[in-house]
Amino acid sequence: MIKTVTLDRNQKPTAEQIKQIEEAAKKEICFDEDSPALTPAMEKAFRLAAKNRNTQRKTIVS
């Protein structure tokens, strides 16, 4: 089960959310046909895309 929570920049996760994250981190990754393991080339492309996304300036709408 996937659970998504969106936090504001200044908002801190609750103790329960931290506990859930720690428990999820202990579980193994399960690959299947819908989410196969990444090849080295796919992993490199993914890391580059994430880096570019994180370095772009976000437009502030007022």
The per-residue pLDDT for 58 is: 59
pLDDT tens digits, one per residue of 8-59: 888 898 999 999 999 999 999 899 999 899 999 999 999 999 888 877 655 5
The per-residue pLDDT for 53 is: 83
| Gap between the Cα atoms of 54 and 48, Å rounded | 10
The per-residue pLDDT for 48 is: 92
The per-residue pLDDT for 57 is: 57
Q: Which residue has the higher pLDDT, 62 or 2?
A: 2
Distance separating the N- and C-terminal Cα atoms of the chain: 36
49 φ, ψ to 5°?
-65, -40
What token pair was written down for 27?
């579980």
pTM for the predicted model, two decimal places: 0.49
